[in-house]
Amino acid sequence: MTTVHEPTPVRADLSVWPASAADSPDTGLAVGGVPLAEVADRFGTPVYVLDEAEVRDRCRTYRAAFPDTEILYAAKAFLCRAMIHWVDEEGLGLDVCSAGELEFAVTAGFPPDRIVLHGNAKSPQDLATALRLGVGRVVIDSPSEIARLAAAVGPDGHQKVMVRVVPGVSAGGHDKIRTGTDDQKFGLSIADGYAAHAIARILDQPQLELTGLHCHLGSQITSVKPYLVAVRRLVGLMSRLHEQHGLVLPELDLGGGHGIAYRPGEPALDLTALAGRVRAELATACAAADLPVPRLLIEPGRAIAGPAGVALYRVLSVKRTGDHVFVAVDGGMSDNPRPALYGVRYAPRLIGRPGGAAPAPVTVVGRHCEAGDVLAADVPLPADVHPGDLIALPVAGAYHLSMASGYNLVGRPPVVAVHDGTARLLVRRESLADVRNRDVGL
């Protein structure tokens, strides 16, 4: 009698999923103790799922790696009232880029003195809101902003400021997200003297208190080296400022841009190595310049929110065209423009049922009227994928909802938090009624 052995199932690589992700033959893939198929059935698709424990754990990881550092969560990555409360409860500050982000945070209860306002072109409303709410620091990004802010503060007012400088360091995962060089719109160059000139002008404004220098090299940086080069150049500028003005700056903000893995096997920035080597480099450079070591600030966004999120989609059609198989889903570039903008690659997965066939290469596309509406090109999915199936995209917590658009009036997806086996709605789905209510003309 011949014994037939069932093939051993291949365990899925969950390395880029939230730590709580678990696969079960009975419930399928779950995050935060909640089966993802249940989330899709209850809240509809597309839907963003956010693991609260993963967000909190990542905040705590930063605090452990950078114990003497002011850590500011970059709100542009993803913001909602629940996220504001989580970040506050975990002891982080906030980095915002507009009056909208700032007022949203403050009205949700976040302390304004723990908020830093950025922006290469702050509007009068941005500055007025910052002063009205008592923002902790304003990061000056251009010479014209100095006089504008000083006038808004008034002769009897006071506002802490930093200056965003460009250290001439090229780093980041794509040309469009590299911001540490002189050929882009942010900051004031160290090399051509504009940064030093702007600082001299700030020192002539007694109502503006310059607390430190700020730089942001870019996004998706996976190497420590660019940060070390930036530290040396920033301390060099601090040394020249001390020689010229007797100025000793108490703060140094190295921005964020900490890279994460979007697919298994991709590199991510080692936070422990970053913290140790940056502290050592800063101490060495300051000792050589005979300066006290400033307090360090960092601004992670993607590295906190990104891996905590999952996007769920329903398959609408499967089309074979020549050598290509296109799997079209009910979302796309309106809820995730990053593949079209930066060529980002994801690792989608079939959920809700076991795959009945061997994997085959497919391209997951969106529903929008653009040839570039591609969510994941040439990725393996079971060859029997069909309409009605569910597909999950991990690492979807950052720059998805925050960059979502109203293209084709499909409505932005909801956000659902999962934690300890419970799912709850954080942000409701945008409806056609929402769109109609904004349109007041005829």
**Which residues are known to be catalytic?**
369
Q: How far apart are CA 137 and CA 99, in angstroms?
A: 14
Q: How far apart are CA 361 and CA 382, in angstroms?
A: 9
Asked if 130 and 117 count as a contact pair (C-beta separation under 8 A), the reply is yes
Total Cβ atoms within 10 A of residue 64: 11
Dig out the tokens for 400 from the structure: 């998805």
Q: Which residues pair with 380 in a beta bridge?
A: 361
Q: Which residues pair with 22 in a beta bridge?
A: 30
Tell which residue, 352, 379, 351, 349, has the closest CA to residue 363: 379
Q: How far apart are CA 383 and CA 381, in angstroms?
A: 6
Dig out the tokens for 375 from the structure: 């969510």
Q: How far apart are CA 165 and CA 195, in angstroms?
A: 6
Q: How far apart are CA 102 and CA 135, in angstroms?
A: 8
Q: How far apart are CA 415 and CA 50, in angstroms?
A: 7
Dig out the tokens for 87 from the structure: 């970040």
Give the angle subtended at the CA of 232 by the CAs of 295 and 118, to the nearest 5°: 55
Q: How far apart are CA 432 and CA 434, in angstroms?
A: 5
Cis peptide before 226 (omega within 30 of 0): no
Asked if 91 and 73 count as a contact pair (C-beta separation under 8 A), the reply is no
Total Cβ atoms within 10 A of residue 268: 15
Q: How far apart are CA 138 and CA 96, in angstroms?
A: 10
Dig out the tokens for 258 from the structure: 């900490």
What's CA 319's distance to the chain center, in Å? 34
Tell which residue, 266, 410, 440, 390, has the closest CA to residue 335: 410
Q: Which residues contact 193 (CB under 8 A, 6 or more apart)?
A: none
Asked if 336 and 311 count as a contact pair (C-beta separation under 8 A), the reply is yes
Q: What is the CA radius of gyration of the chain?
A: 24
Cis peptide before 294 (omega within 30 of 0): no
